[in-house]
Amino acid sequence: MRVLITGGAGFLGSHLCDRFLAEGHTVIAMDNLITGNTDNVAHLAGHERFMFIHHDVTNYIFIEGKLDAVLHLASPASPIDYLEYPIQTLKVGALGTHKALGLARDKGARFLLASTSEVYGDPQVHPQSESYYGHVNPIGPRGVYDEAKRYAESLVMAYHRSHGLETRIVRIFNTYGPRMRLRDGRVVPNFISQALRGEPLTVYGDGAQTRSFQYVDDLIEGIYRLLFSNEAEPVNIGNPGEFTILAFAELVNQMTNNAGGIRYVDSRTLDDPQVRRPDISKAKRVLDWQPTITLEDGLQRTIPWFRAELQKRGEL
Ligand code: NAD
Ligand code: UDP
């Protein structure tokens, strides 16, 4: 297959590039580098089946030759990123998804949208299954991201229903692993880099809010299976293991032998979803997928990567 991966220089996009190349496919990664970095795909430079195109997908996308699949991952993804780039986030969810869908239609390619558990907002149903419509504040700080993804899902289904386009929607729950940006502000890079520096971990609010963390390799496997399935409606891909942020902080401190402890801060509690856990029965049923990597195992694989990054930057 010849596949286009938008957001291909990002954390998840670059892991998808690796997977598709490893399976023998040809990969075109497209990215405007707003939150991504070519370092994530530097190891692919010169690969005969890999190409990188610097382009903003909110503008018309031109690709020469055939395409079998378009995987649309382009979008700022961490809260501090989409709060810094609110309009770009709305544009890439709306205009970028439209351009990527138009390209897929033109090429007769299958289309996959990277959506998010944020479509469930601050959920009033727990755990979240795909049938839950969500509880989102359109004008809250997170609204720019949540509503962009909700609109994107709507647009994908309209292309599927009106044009018969083969489409897939993955609702991704919190994913972590190597290549996350040290300063993307998400809880995993924040806690690991604070712990490795011997600093206290910054727990927002009282730390009673929960998240369910999945290791990147599990997600990539789920996305790969979804693309090749026949499921046009959204599928949750996440790890149902649910932790309070406080318990997660304690685990990171324990695994890094950090004596720095915990510092409670009040910096970003606005709109923070209080709970989040995927119901993955649909993924089990239609993809025969479930996560295989526990949080401890995933952190064992991730901590050394952050240590090496901090050392490279002279911060350790
Ligand atoms: P990331 O910021 O590392 O990657 C996103 C990439 O998209 C970046 O390389 C960025 O430069 C690129 N991009 C943004 N706007 C663009 C534009 N207009 N044109 C071209 N490229 C553009 O974030 P990530 O964690 O790898 O997230 C990838 C996708 O997965 C996003 O769509 C995100 O919403 C979704 N997602 C991620 C998670 C997670 O936990 N990591 C959870 C839910 C959904
Ligand atoms: N969080 C925290 N300290 C940090 C960063 C995040 O306590 O330094 C909390 C945040 O308030 C949220 C959870 O960790 O409840 C996950 O935040 P993240 O930004 O990783 O992703 P979200 O799931 O909120 O999009």
**244 close to ligand 2 (CB < 6 Angstrom):** no
Instruction: Give residue 186 CA to ligand 2 midpoint distance, Å.
Output: 6
At residue 267, does pLDDT exceed 80? no
**Is residue 75 in contact with ligand 1, taking CB distance under 6 Å?**
yes
SS3 assignment, position 312: helix
Confidence band for 287, pLDDT divided at 50, 70 and 90: very high
| Ligand 2 proximity of 272 Cβ (cutoff 6 Å) | yes
Residue 89 CA: nearest ligand 1 atom is 15
Q: Check: CATH 3.90.79.10 for 2-175+214-237?
A: no
Which residue ranges make up each domain of the chain? 2-175+214-237, 178-211+241-277+293-312
| Beta carbons within 8 Å of 164's beta carbon, 6+ residues apart | none
Nearest CA to ligand 2 atom 1: 187
133 has catalytic annotation: no
CATH code for the part of the protein at 178-211+241-277+293-312 = 3.90.25.10
Q: Is 32 in the pocket of ligand 1 (CB under 6 A)?
A: yes
Question: CA-to-CA distance for 9 and 17, rounded, in angstroms?
Answer: 9
3-class secondary structure per residue, 135-178:
ECCCCCCCHHHHHHHHHHHHHHHHHHHHHCCCEEEEEECCEECC
- Alpha-carbon distance 81 to 92, whole Å? 13
Give the angle 256-220-131 at the CA atoms, nearest 5°. 105
Q: What is the pLDDT of residues 13-64, one digit of tens each?
A: 999 999 999 999 999 999 999 999 999 999 999 999 999 999 999 999 999 9
Ligand of minimum distance to the alpha carbon of 152: 1
User: Is 0.95 topped by the overall pTM?
Assistant: yes
Give the Å distance between the CA of 174 and the centre of ligand 1. Answer: 13
256 C-alpha to center of ligand 1: Å? Answer: 28
Give yes or no for residue 118 having a pLDDT over 90: yes
pLDDT tens, position by position, 218-251: 999 999 999 999 999 999 999 999 999 999 999 9
Amino acid residing at 172: I
Which of 82, 85, 120, 145 does the annotation list as catalytic? 145
b/e per residue 284-298 (b: at least 16 CB within 10 A):
eeebebebebebeeb
- 269 Cα nearest atom in ligand 2: 11
